[in-house]
A and B are shown apart, each in its own frame.
Chain A
Amino acid sequence: MADVIERVKKIVVERLEVEADKVVEAATFQEDLGADSLDLVELVMAFEEEFAIEIPDEVQEQINSVGDAVKFITERV
């Protein structure tokens, strides 16, 4: 779990070019971290690549925060 959180944070910081301390589990990608719809698609692709999983489109729509991503990925890996 801790490992997943760190890896997710690293990807978010890198892809969205945001400060690491803003990437907390409660942070939402669009409101808090300034991502747009295309950023989100790219972010999900990066998660898929990093964790070698597939995140279906209907699940993507429910991943709105860092915590949502960590939760979904932890269940899969």
Chain B
Amino acid sequence: MRRVVITGIGLTTPLANGREASWSRLIEGQSGVGRIDTFDADDLACQIAGQVPWKSGRGGGSEDDPASFDPDAVMSAKERRRIDEFILYGMAAADEAVADSGWTPETDDEKFRTGVLIGSGIGGLSSIADTSIVLHEKGPRKISPFFIPGALINLVSGQVSIKHGFKGPNHAVVTACATGAHAIGDSARLIASGDADVMVAGGTEAAVCRIGIAGFVACRAMSTSYNDAPETASRPYDEGRDGFVMGEGAGILVLEEYEHAKARGAKIYAEVAGYGLSGDAYHITSPDTSGNGGERAMRSALEKSGLSASDIDYVNAHGTSTPAGDETEVRAVERVLGDHAKNVNLSSTKSAIGHLLGAAGAVETAFCALAIRDNVVPPTINLENPSFEAEVNLTPKTAVKREIKAAVSNSFGFGGTNAALVLKQVD
């Protein structure tokens, strides 16, 4: 089987635009969650979100912060009018990941062997909502010809391929909050099976809009008690947790066949060693209370990786800060790790950035790769009083320096879809 490694990472998150700024702010224990400032949220039960900080000032960004997001650096104002923001964030993170990898295919064959697989949980939700108002108020002749290509989920992969000339497999995943993890896992399989040598893979989301928040509030899934203290709202495992906080942004990785990467002297963050998938067959929004679905995904990923439970040092949990899901997942992790659980750090980085839905799994897999690079575990911020006793170290509040040779990233989505990835250090 061909081995697959990570050679490029791009991140656009509520903490910062850019890989290193997002990562260092995460390790410092900062929060990217604030009051929603892009639309009127006063009549919504949840008025907070993890918004990408823009240079324009939105989302808590500023002109003076070099890590604030500059949309002009990604595409022109004309092009931006024609796409939903989930595509914009995906393009930004893909640009960074591709530049980071140093991979620029020149020959036809190199282009044919480089593919793109970027997903989104919801896609152009905000555009769909806005356009339906235009349809209602002004009629069908006023619908933009760019509405459909600006809202379709696979158009991120399409746009990235057009911009960079990647002519290999062009694909997209839609599995709600497991999208990013499935995109990376499926891409790794495409490389392992020989369909491509390089894949630009990940997830992107921009569902922080009125209909997006209202919809998840209706599912009774969101935090509603911390509108006046947004930074403290996402608090996985804490007794005060009351639901997830939505985040936006993108995480994109460049995955590459190991010999291909080695031959061109590419920097290697980590190996995508294992990938496991499962379905709960239980409920449309609630995770199976037994945790069996997540457990089977983890066991499958571990088996594929050739590692044993005792090789795992860090688990980046799905941990969304919902009352039911958090403990169920930790128990499943502990069953998989067995006696080794006490030696393992687990954290939920959603505590700092909120839940990026379809981008979450990709951003979190990127965090795992950076954790392996720097031998540091990002913290679960806001974890003051755990609501249950755990064998694993839940890594409260501050980052932990320790050797990380292998890490697991879990992602679970509505519909009962589960994915787990195992990353390991490459010597």
Contact = CB atoms under 8 A, between A and B. Distances in A.
A38 B145 contact: yes
A16 B146 CA distance: 14
B144 interface: yes
Nearest to B138: A49
Interface in A2-22: 15-17
B146 A38 contact: yes
Interface residues of A, number: 9
B136 interface: no
Contacts of A17: 76-78
Nearest to B146: A38
- Give chain A's interface secondary structure class: helix
A48 B139 CA distance: 14
Contacts of A42: 144-146
Interface string B69-110: 000000011100000000000000000000000000000000
- Give chain B's interface secondary structure class: helix
Contact of A41 (B76, B77, B145): B145
A45 B142 CA distance: 7
Contacts of A54: 141
Nearest to A18: B78
A45 B144 contact: yes
A53 B404 CA distance: 66
A15 B78 contact: yes
A54 B141 CA distance: 10
A52 B345 CA distance: 64
A54 B146 CA distance: 20
Contacts of A41: 145
Interface string B109-145: 0000000000000000000000000000000011011
Contacts of A15: 78
Interface string A31-47: 00000001001100100
Contacts of B77: 17
Contacts of A38: 145-146, 149
Nearest to A38: B145
A54 B144 CA distance: 15
A53 B247 CA distance: 42
Nearest to B78: A17
A58 B200 CA distance: 43
Interface of A: 15-17, 38, 41-42, 45, 48, 54
Interface of B: 76-78, 141-142, 144-146, 149
